[in-house]
Amino acid sequence: MFAEVDKDACIGCGACPEVCPEVFRMEDDDKAIAYKNPVPSEFLESAKEAAEGCPTEAIHFQE
C-alpha cells in the first residue's frame, strides 16, 4: 500500500510524523511527505492512525 500526502491540503501541523515517523516526515516547505513507499507492513497501522489524525484529511492510501 502506498501513502500520499496532498501538499495543497497539508497545513504542516506535524501530526503525521509524530505518530508515524517511519513513513512521514516534514520537508523544508513545512509540509509533510510520505517518504517510505510502499508502506512497510509493520508500519501500516501507525500510518493509518496518522491519516485518521490528520486535521485536513491530507493523507491518502492507494493499493
Half-sphere exposure of 42 (CA within 13 A, CB side): 2
pLDDT value of position 59:
98
pLDDT value of position 18:
98
Q: What is the distance between the terminal CA atoms of the chain, rounded to a whole angstrom?
A: 5
Count of domains in the chain?
1
The per-residue pLDDT for range 20-59, each reduced to its tens digit, is: 999 999 999 999 999 999 999 999 999 999 999 999 999 9
Verify cis geometry, omega within 30 degrees of 0, for the bond prior to 38: yes
Nearest residue to 3 via CA among 54, 13, 28, 30:
54
pLDDT value of position 40:
98
β-strand partners of 34? 24
pLDDT value of position 20:
98
**Can you give the residue range of the structural domain that contains 58?**
2-62
| Angle 27-17-22 from CA coordinates, rounded to 5° | 100
CATH of the domain at 12: 3.30.70.20
Single pTM value for the model: 0.94
